[in-house]
Amino acid sequence: MINLKQEIHKELTNNIIPFWSNLKDEENGGFFGRCDFNLNIDKTANKGVILNSRILWFFSKAYKTLKNTILLENATHAFNFLINNCLDKEYGGVYWSLDYKGNPQETIKHTYNQAFAIYALSSYFEVSNNEQALDIAFNLVDLIEKNCKDDFGYLESFSREFDLIDNEKLSENGVMASRTMNTLLHVFEAYSGLYEITYSKKIAKSLRFMLDIFKTKIYNPNLQRQEVFFDLEYNSLLNLHSYGHDIESAWLIEWGTALLKDATLLKEIKQ
């Protein structure tokens, strides 16, 4: 086990961190959006906002573990790009993608995308104590709860102005899903991360709301798997087993439930 820990530390510090650090765009902000198999960087590629959020999360968590100030500087670089370029100052929320100079490219607002921004901002606040990060995270939560949710769960894809549109980004195999397990899972993940550092009562309420959806709508007890794509009434649209998402859900749902400190609920979820 000690050797495994050493190998993981070596891989992280010698390969993974340098790879992402080398994609830092000092001229236009954020991180370059594409490199080829031989690590040649395409400096004019679009920049995905989900990618920037994940990079912000990564460097925040890396700094929390390794305490290397360069990692915090990289996280701050990603944070600044998020608040200066990725956020829509007029209609709220984060865009889907930007051009290489940081101008809006795909302006749709996807619930999945907002969730990753919340998750990243929560992680950054944890290591920086930057109140702006926490404020924006809660603003995005309020935006999701107001614009991206109905009485039965979370909806997916919206125009820049938050009019509901087809969910092209997270649909596949010939179906157009009104709801997806994937988006629900990552909203749950994001809210769990925010709850872990704030213990907000309104976040706890939303977590319980989502857990009920997982139990009653997403999980298929007969097939012992999650369904993936749904219509508005949670009818499954495709016979598809996503093994990776089942594994991911197993630990994310347990983690988020444990944060609620409800022994009865946690026992129910584990069963």
Domain residues of the chain, as ranges? 46-270
pLDDT of 33-42, one tens digit each? 999 999 999 9
Mean pLDDT of all residues belonging to the chain = 97
Q: Using a pLDDT cut of 90, give the percent of the chain over it.
A: 97
- Tell me the one-letter amino acid at 78: A
Cα distances (angstroms) measured from residue 49 to each of 56, 105, 110: 10, 10, 11
Alpha-carbon gap, residue 246 to 259, rounded angstroms:
20
pTM: 0.97
Alpha-carbon gap, residue 193 to 199, rounded angstroms:
10
pLDDT of 126-143, one tens digit each? 999 999 999 999 999 999
The band of 53, judged by pLDDT with boundaries at 50, 70 and 90, is very high
Alpha-carbon gap, residue 246 to 62, rounded angstroms:
26
The band of 106, judged by pLDDT with boundaries at 50, 70 and 90, is very high
Residue 162 has pLDDT above 90, yes or no: yes
Take residue 26 and report the two structure tokens written for it.
Answer: 């000092």
For domain 46-270, give the CATH number.
1.50.10.10
What's the pLDDT score for residue 173?
85
